[in-house]
Amino acid sequence: MQSVIRIILQRLALGLLTLFVVSIVIFTAVNMLPGDFAEAILGQGATPEAVASIRRDLGLDQPPITRYFQWLGGALQGDLGNSFAQANFASFAGADTGVSTTVAQQIAPRFENTMFLAAVTAFIAVPVSLTLGILAALFRNSVFDRATNVTTLTSISSPEFFLAYVLILFLAVLNPVLPSLSNIFDGMSFGERLEKTLLPALTLTLVVTAHMMRMTRAAIINLLASPYIEMARLKGMSPMRVIVKHALPNALAPIINVIALNLAYLITGVVVVEVVFVYPGIGQLFVDSVKIRDIPVVQACCLIFAAAYILLNLLADILSILSNPRLRHPK
Amino acid sequence: MSRLVEIRDLWIEGRSDETWSPIINGVSLSLDQGEVLGLIGESGAGKSTLGLAAMGFTRDGVRISKGAVEFDGIDLISASAAKKRELLGKRIAYVAQSAAASFNPAHKLIDQHTEGPVQHGVMSRAESVEDAIELYRRLRLPNPEEIGFRYPHQVSGGQLQRAMTAMAMSCRPDLIIFDEPTTALDVTTQIEVLASIRDIVDQFNTAAIYITHDLAVVAQMADKIKVLLKGDEVEEADTRTMLSQPKEDYTKSLWAVRAFERPQKPAVHTSATPVVSVQNVSAAYGKIPVLHDVSFDIHEGRTVAVVGESGSGKSTTARCITGLLPPTQGVIQFDGQSLPASYKQRNKDQLRQAQMIYQMADTALNPRKTIGEIIGRPVQFYMGLTGKQKRRRVEELLEEIELPAAEYLNRLPSELSGGQKQRIGIARALAAEPKFIICDEVTSALDQLVAEGILKLLARLQDDLKLSYMFITHDLATVKAIADEVVVMKEGEVVEQGPKREMFIPPHHPYTDLLLSSVPEMDPDWLTNLLDERGVDNIGDAAVDKMS
């Protein structure tokens, strides 16, 4: 058990290091974008004085390295800075009201929505993929197996917006069982939220199922030639029991990794689906912020995405380790 | 009364690519309650296929094309999958060759043990746990109350093999198929497993089919023996008759293998410089010391056999000599000159002089290279030959190992048999024209007849080329056949060394004694006598005592 804790701590340290490297990459990349917030907001007719003034206000006149460390220092203390777009430019106009929105305030509700959508999707997609994968392995090369493969492959190969519109057509237009707009807001009950989130969640389920289901199937089939599987068969165990009890526990590591990868995708890569359903998630916020060069928000979003990837993969590593009795119970 | 197992004129085929080729050709066998049949033959003879067929089971890509398999009057060929599942595990059980691979790594032993009885509705889990502990006790496993609650990787190979026998017994089947259950074990461990299996089969009057390639083992276990060759039955007789009066030539040739023995060579002059001299070598993997002060000499044209159980440091010594593992202390001398510790600091000539042949010829040959390329590489690298000269040299080498060059030059390793692959391994070592070759368990993966061919080839090459061998093995029959001197290792130390003649005459070190007395002999009473000698009840303890 001690060795397991050591491995986990090592991975955690590596994760932090990765996050640090990612923060540099993000900062550099964002700084390489042509134009900046001052130019973007003031438009074509901006006078050089006005641009310089806003830059000074926002600290954009500082050298990049200074800005990076200011930002990093703030981020380490939980302060992601103030959003440019929501900042009050009264000072520039000569009448400072002292009110501005922090990045944290802006991102928090959006992030919550994104996590909600990801959770609902995972709640549907993971059990469905596992079940389909196990059944496909059990009835491998049967009609069921082929049909499952074709269906999931078709859904993963189709563009997300197309799947979204197909679902809207069938579940909102032809049979109006679900709302086609997912405009959720504060103060909604859980039930309402769930109802509004269901359609985007189903779309995303179609997107992520194929990968997880195929990995489950492959990981199990990969083990079916093992002597211990033959042994289970020779003990007269039923095919279902052989797969679920004898193959699956040994196939967990690769499956867990693929699930983690797909969950990370659900947090970071669902902009298209958010746009189609007008779902107020973090993806839309991110794209909007890039458009107007709202650098603090862009950086914070990138950092959150990176952290989500790293944390989920870390979690997958830990679970894989725990699924291996050799590591859980050393000699 | 019908017999317990009745196989009549059974034909089995296996699919390779698109065609079906025969594996078993019209074999019949029958077995009564409590009877033990030994099934013997080389690899590829179809022993396992036949054993599994007796359970009504065929592996993927294998089919029964003709014949009948009946178990207690039930036709297993026409029986439904569900009907067969009812019998498997409950009335017919299987003990696999490698218990380490055949226990599911994800579950505790006890959970795997009780699965059969619970699923077949024979016992409740609690009853089965209790019964398991009793079986573990009868099989003389240490800590019977506790050992079942471990995971497979926490239990040693010999203990796992006994736990698997216990698992096979869990539903008190009428028939158990033992598929080479001791092949992967050290001789000292093998005895304990053999004794345990024999006792428990006796106690419950279970019928068994005991599959092995080791005649001496089958002689201890079986009431009658059937010999298979390439899917054909050679002959069947009761054990004593089969051992004393084998009828067929093939059987006689199997029996004769153990007779191969090179005469002891005269002692070397004490003043002669040894080809290889291992002097006070200690080595460690990381911080864990594995070799302690190992010293021995190997003289020109001599074979030094290094024997010991797995984990005794035999292969580690070889790694030190070749420089793969630089020793922490001591030196390796070659022709009186000290060699740099690591192979990286040795020059080409020093590397050329010491070559290796590996246990698994399968994995030691690059599967994507032709035989010509595999042997040609060291010819070019060490001897600097290219073009026609290189080709001629490769052909010579193939001739040397008794494979016709024209036929084999362009083949891939996968197109060769196990014995032929090992010959290629020898040719590759010879290509460097070394003075010294390390043979690491080169015959352990081979059938006895094939192994004998390899040993004879090595012996001839030694005489022709004045080669020195370090022969790593755990098989004392091989030692008897080929060694001039013997080094016995245990837990990283040399416990005894000397000329072969002396090694096989007492008195010797108690550990050597244990090793020697554990080698099965063809006498069917050998195991019984040995157990009497050591004291039946504490055979496992006796082995442990002597080792500590």
Do A250 and B104 make contact, defined as CB atoms within 8 angstroms? yes
In a domain, B77, yes or no: no
Pairing assessment for the beta strands B485-490 and B493-499 based on DSSP bridges: antiparallel
Rounded CA gap, A285 and A109, in Å? 11
In degrees and rounded to multiples of 5, residue B67 shows phi and psi of 110, 180
- Interacting residues of A81 by C-beta distance below 8 A, sequence separation 6+: A71, A74, A102, A103, A296, A300
Same domain, A65 and A42: yes
Same domain, A122 and A241: yes
B154 touches chain A (CB under 8 A): yes
In degrees and rounded to multiples of 5, residue A189 shows phi and psi of -75, 165
- Report, as an integer, the average pLDDT of A69-87: 78
pLDDT for the residue B545: 42
- The shortest C-alpha distance from B239 to chain A (Å) reads 29
Chain A partners of B57 at a C-beta cutoff of 8 Å?
233-234
Rounded CA gap, A156 and A233, in Å? 35
Residue of B85, B111, B128, B174 to mutate when probing chain A, most A C-beta within 10 A: B85
Question: Residue B321's closest CA among B307, B337, B341?
Answer: B341
B98 touches chain A (CB under 8 A): yes
Same domain, A75 and A193: no
In a domain, B445, yes or no: yes
Chain B partners of A326 at a C-beta cutoff of 8 Å?
105, 151, 153
Chain A partners of B55 at a C-beta cutoff of 8 Å?
234
Of B57, B89, B106, which is closest to A249 when you measure between CB atoms? B106
Pairing assessment for the beta strands B303-307 and B232-238 based on DSSP bridges: unpaired
Same domain, B186 and B289: no
pLDDT for the residue A100: 60
In degrees and rounded to multiples of 5, residue B70 shows phi and psi of -120, 135
Helices (H) and strands (E) in chain B — how many of each?
Answer: 24, 20
Of B89, B101, B107, which is closest to A234 when you measure between CB atoms? B89
Residue of B104, B110, B159, B176 to mutate when probing chain A, most A C-beta within 10 A: B104
Same domain, A309 and A178: no
In a domain, B527, yes or no: no
Q: Any alpha helices (H) in B341-404, and if so which ranges?
A: 348-353, 361-364, 371-383, 387-400
CATH of the domain at B414: 3.40.50.300
Q: Render pLDDT for A225-246 as a digit per residue (tens, 0 to 9).
A: 899 999 999 999 999 999 999 9
Do B120 and A236 make contact, defined as CB atoms within 8 angstroms? yes
In a domain, B137, yes or no: yes
Question: Residue B182's closest CA among B206, B203, B165, B200?
Answer: B165
Chain B partners of A325 at a C-beta cutoff of 8 Å?
105-106, 151, 153
Q: How deeply is A225 buried, as exposed, middle or buried, from its count of CB atoms within 10 A (0-12, 13-18, 19+)?
A: exposed
pLDDT for the residue A12: 86
B118 touches chain A (CB under 8 A): no
Do A230 and B96 make contact, defined as CB atoms within 8 angstroms? yes
Chain A partners of B105 at a C-beta cutoff of 8 Å?
228, 250, 325-326
Same domain, B99 and B182: yes
- In total, chain B counts a number of residues equal to 548
> Is the distance from CB of B433 to CB of B386 less than 8 angstroms?
no
Rounded CA gap, A296 and A82, in Å? 7
Same domain, A21 and A165: no
B151 touches chain A (CB under 8 A): yes
Rounded CA gap, A34 and A159, in Å? 30
Total domains in the fold of chain A: 2
Chain A partners of B106 at a C-beta cutoff of 8 Å?
246, 249-250, 323, 325
CATH of the domain at A267: 1.10.3720.10
- The shortest C-alpha distance from B272 to chain A (Å) reads 48
Same domain, A168 and A220: yes
- Interacting residues of A90 by C-beta distance below 8 A, sequence separation 6+: A96, A97
Question: Residue A33's closest CA among A300, A305, A298, A282?
Answer: A298
- Report, as an integer, the average pLDDT of A180-196: 86
| Residue in A closest to B112 by C-alpha | A232
Of B57, B102, B150, which is closest to A228 when you measure between CB atoms? B102
Same domain, B157 and B53: yes
Same domain, B178 and B210: yes
Total domains in the fold of chain B: 2
- Interacting residues of A294 by C-beta distance below 8 A, sequence separation 6+: A37, A83, A84, A85, A288
| Average pLDDT of chain A to the nearest whole number | 86
- Interacting residues of B279 by C-beta distance below 8 A, sequence separation 6+: B295, B330, B331, B332, B333
Same domain, A246 and A120: yes
Q: How deeply is A191 buried, as exposed, middle or buried, from its count of CB atoms within 10 A (0-12, 13-18, 19+)?
A: exposed
Same domain, A138 and A71: no
**Percent of chain A's residues with pLDDT above 90:** 39
- The shortest C-alpha distance from A155 to chain B (Å) reads 33
Rounded CA gap, B342 and B328, in Å? 11
Same domain, B338 and B198: no
Please give the interface size between A and B, counted as residue pairs whose CB atoms are below 8 Å apart: 76
- The shortest C-alpha distance from A326 to chain B (Å) reads 7
B93 touches chain A (CB under 8 A): yes
Same domain, A239 and A311: no
In a domain, A108, yes or no: no
Same domain, B233 and B107: yes
Q: How deeply is B299 buried, as exposed, middle or buried, from its count of CB atoms within 10 A (0-12, 13-18, 19+)?
A: buried
Same domain, B224 and B340: no
Same domain, A263 and A320: no
Of B87, B101, B103, which is closest to A236 when you measure between CB atoms? B87
Same domain, B207 and B305: no
In a domain, A110, yes or no: no
In a domain, B82, yes or no: no
pLDDT for the residue B117: 94
Chain B partners of A323 at a C-beta cutoff of 8 Å?
106
pLDDT for the residue A93: 44
Residue B451: strand, helix, or coil = helix
Of B60, B98, B115, which is closest to A235 when you measure between CB atoms? B115
Question: Residue B276's closest CA among B436, B434, B430?
Answer: B436
Angle, CA B234 vertex, CA B232 and CA B238 arms, to 5°: 130
| pLDDT above 50 (res A257) | yes
In a domain, A111, yes or no: no
A266 vs B501 pLDDT, higher one:
A266
Rounded CA gap, A199 and A193, in Å? 11
pLDDT for the residue B251: 85
Rounded CA gap, B392 and B460, in Å? 22
In a domain, A244, yes or no: yes
Q: How far is CA B453 from CA B40, B153, B316, B419, B441, in A?
A: 19, 37, 27, 8, 15
B84 touches chain A (CB under 8 A): yes
In a domain, A107, yes or no: no
In a domain, B80, yes or no: no
Same domain, B41 and B190: yes
Helices (H) and strands (E) in chain A — how many of each?
Answer: 16, 0
Same domain, B433 and B307: yes
Range of the domain at A230: 116-291
Q: How deeply is B348 buried, as exposed, middle or buried, from its count of CB atoms within 10 A (0-12, 13-18, 19+)?
A: exposed
Q: What is the DSSP annotation of B61-100?
A: TEEEEEEEEEETTEETTTS-HHHHHHHBTTTEEEE-S-HH
Same domain, B37 and B162: yes
- Give pTM, 2 decimals: 0.79
- Interacting residues of B479 by C-beta distance below 8 A, sequence separation 6+: B305, B307, B471, B473, B486, B500, B503
Same domain, A154 and A285: yes
Do B57 and A326 make contact, defined as CB atoms within 8 angstroms? no
Amino acid at B270: T
Range of the domain at B120: 33-62+89-256
Of B87, B116, B151, which is closest to A329 when you measure between CB atoms? B151
Do A237 and B85 make contact, defined as CB atoms within 8 angstroms? yes
Chain A partners of B89 at a C-beta cutoff of 8 Å?
234-237
Give pairs for B133-137: CB < 8 Å, separation 24+: B135/B166, B135/B169, B135/B170, B135/B200, B136/B162, B136/B163, B136/B166
B350 touches chain A (CB under 8 A): no
Q: Write out residues 218-257 of A within 8 Å (CB-CB) of B.
A: 225-228, 230-238, 241, 245-246, 249-250
pLDDT for the residue A218: 93
> Is the distance from CB of B308 to CB of B474 less than 8 angstroms?
yes
In a domain, B351, yes or no: yes
pLDDT string in tens for chain B (548-residue length): 568 999 999 999 988 778 888 899 999 999 999 999 999 988 778 888 999 999 999 988 889 999 999 999 899 999 999 999 999 999 999 999 888 889 999 999 999 999 999 999 999 999 999 999 999 988 888 889 999 999 998 888 888 988 999 999 999 999 999 998 887 777 888 888 888 888 888 888 999 999 988 888 888 999 999 999 988 999 999 988 888 888 888 888 877 766 677 777 777 777 788 999 999 999 988 888 889 999 999 999 999 999 888 778 888 999 999 999 999 999 999 998 999 989 999 999 999 999 999 888 888 899 899 999 999 999 999 999 888 999 999 999 999 888 888 888 888 988 888 888 999 999 999 999 999 999 998 887 787 778 888 999 999 999 999 999 999 988 887 888 888 999 999 888 999 888 888 877 777 788 888 888 888 887 888 888 888 887 654 444 444 444 43
| pLDDT above 50 (res A96) | no
B194 touches chain A (CB under 8 A): no
| Residue in A closest to B154 by C-alpha | A331
Do B116 and A246 make contact, defined as CB atoms within 8 angstroms? no
Q: Quote the crossing angle between the two packed helices B157-169 and B187-203, to the nearest 10°.
A: 10
In a domain, B358, yes or no: yes
Same domain, B243 and B344: no
> Is the distance from CB of B400 to CB of B434 less than 8 angstroms?
no
| Residue in A closest to B104 by C-alpha | A228
Question: Residue A303's closest CA among A18, A60, A12, A11?
Answer: A18
In a domain, A92, yes or no: yes
- Interacting residues of B58 by C-beta distance below 8 A, sequence separation 6+: B12, B49, B52, B64
Same domain, A159 and A252: yes
Looking up tokens 């902009």, which residue turns up? Answer: A271
CA torsion sign, B303 to B304 to B309 to B314? negative
